[in-house]
Amino acid sequence: MNKRIGIVFDETDIKVVSSEDGVLIKEKTVVLWNEKENKIVLYGEDVLNLENKIGTNLSIIHPLEDGEIKNLKIFQNLIHLLFGQIKDEFKDADVIISKTSDNELVLDEFSAITSIYQPKNIRFEDSSKLIAIGAGININDDYGKIILEVENHCAKISVFANGDTVASKQLPYGEKYINQKIKQHFKEKKGIILDDSVLDKIKYGIGSVLKLKDDLEIVVAGIDTLSKEKKKILVSSSSVRKIFLDLFNHYKNEITKLLETLPFYISTGIVKNGMSVVGSIGKISGVNYFFKDFFDWPVEISNSTEDAILFGLLKIK
């Protein structure tokens, strides 16, 4: 079997995995760019710690955002820095690239920059399918399976049957969307600006789509919008529940619309297999009961890690 290389170009991470040597690259898709010298000074995780600490002529740039290449020159520079370290791995390898964008021009650029390193061939595979395979979700049943995959910049609803994608729809309601909604709520209702570091505490500490018998509470810190001083407030699960409920109602409504477009035997057969929710958003309390109560089908919250897509890249036929 020929060596396989799997690649994920994502706005959060650049990942490369090899069938022979495992994970070769796993870097945050962010750079510190020197505007005067037109070069990358630093890239990856270390750049994230430099917010508000950089000097003149330096900028923190995220070259990939919302499925688009926001800065082609910087993206190309970053990829050559990364791929240049492992250039021998690509030669004559079968390369599979995760399809993380619906923009054909973006995919063409992914293919073009990879082809420089002389692989044997390049093909794209649907990211939802790769994650499902990597997470061990059965997508080969005749009756079909729905997967709700929530990523940073988007959410994707996919319907699989006999191992193939029957239908899919991309939505703008990813992690970034809900983070913005949480920040907006606290700024407008509580007069406090939250740092990104506390958002996960709210989402996965007290976030719920169901009305809880006993309210959950946490203390969060931020900056007062008037005094600009540090401020701490007590937050309850009931006070933020509408944010999560609105989000999951979006998902529910879009799943319903997608079901109406499917052949009858699949839309009715899905009742047997139900759906899987993939991504950290599944950790919000009550997600499985929310979908189960409305659709009356089995709901699985996948425990797959962020590396499920890498396993999928190596396992897919």
pLDDT for res 304: 72
Question: How do residues 268-284 score in pLDDT, each as one tens digit?
Answer: 888 888 999 998 888 99
The verdict on 156 and 279 lying in the same domain is yes
pLDDT for res 23: 96
pLDDT for res 102: 84
The verdict on 17 and 96 lying in the same domain is yes
pLDDT for res 210: 92
The verdict on 169 and 121 lying in the same domain is no
Q: Which amino acid, residue 226? A: L
The verdict on 160 and 123 lying in the same domain is no
| CA distance to 198, 220, 236, per residue, from 230 (Å) | 14, 11, 20
The verdict on 217 and 295 lying in the same domain is yes
Residue 253 has pLDDT above 90, yes or no: yes
Q: How many domains does the chain have?
A: 2
Residue 49 has pLDDT above 90, yes or no: no
For 173-203, give one letter per residue: b (16+ CB within 10 A) or e.
Answer: bbbbbbbebbbebbeeebebebeeebbeebb
CB-CB neighbours of 119 under 10 Å:
20
The C-alpha atoms of residue 122 and residue 162 are separated, in whole angstroms, by 24
Least confident range of 228-232, 297-301, 304-308: 304-308
Contact 218, 201 (CB under 8 A): yes
The verdict on 159 and 297 lying in the same domain is yes
pLDDT for res 268: 85
Contact 249, 258 (CB under 8 A): no
pLDDT for res 101: 87
pLDDT for res 60: 93
Name every residue whose Cβ is closer than 8 Å to that of residue 178 and which is 6 or more positions away in sequence: 203, 243, 244, 247, 281
Contact 175, 161 (CB under 8 A): no
Residue 62 has pLDDT above 70, yes or no: yes
Residue 55 has pLDDT above 70, yes or no: yes
The verdict on 159 and 242 lying in the same domain is yes
The verdict on 175 and 125 lying in the same domain is no
Q: Which range in 74-88, 141-155, 191-205 is most confidently predicted, on average pLDDT?
A: 74-88
The C-alpha atoms of residue 236 and residue 220 are separated, in whole angstroms, by 11
The C-alpha atoms of residue 222 and residue 196 are separated, in whole angstroms, by 10
CATH code of the domain containing 170: 3.30.420.40
Contact 278, 127 (CB under 8 A): no
The verdict on 158 and 286 lying in the same domain is yes
pLDDT for res 299: 95
Share of the chain above pLDDT 70, in %: 99
pLDDT for res 153: 85
CB-CB neighbours of 11 under 10 Å:
25
Q: How confident is the model at residue 66 (pLDDT cuts 50, 70, 90)?
A: confident
Residue 106 has pLDDT above 70, yes or no: yes
The C-alpha atoms of residue 129 and residue 165 are separated, in whole angstroms, by 8
pLDDT for res 303: 75
Output 79 or 152, whichever has higher pLDDT: 79
Smallest CA-to-CA distance from 305 within 278, 266, 268 is with: 278
Residue 2 has pLDDT above 80, yes or no: yes
The verdict on 23 and 147 lying in the same domain is no
Q: How confident is the model at residue 52 (pLDDT cuts 50, 70, 90)?
A: low
Task: Give the rounded distance of the alpha carbon of 117 from its chain centre.
Answer: 27
The verdict on 210 and 103 lying in the same domain is no
Least confident range of 141-150, 236-245, 284-293: 141-150
The verdict on 190 and 297 lying in the same domain is yes
Question: How do residues 109-119 score in pLDDT, each as one tens digit?
Answer: 999 999 999 99
Task: Give the rounded distance of the alpha carbon of 6 from its chain centre.
Answer: 17
pLDDT for res 309: 92
- Domain range for 260 is 138-301
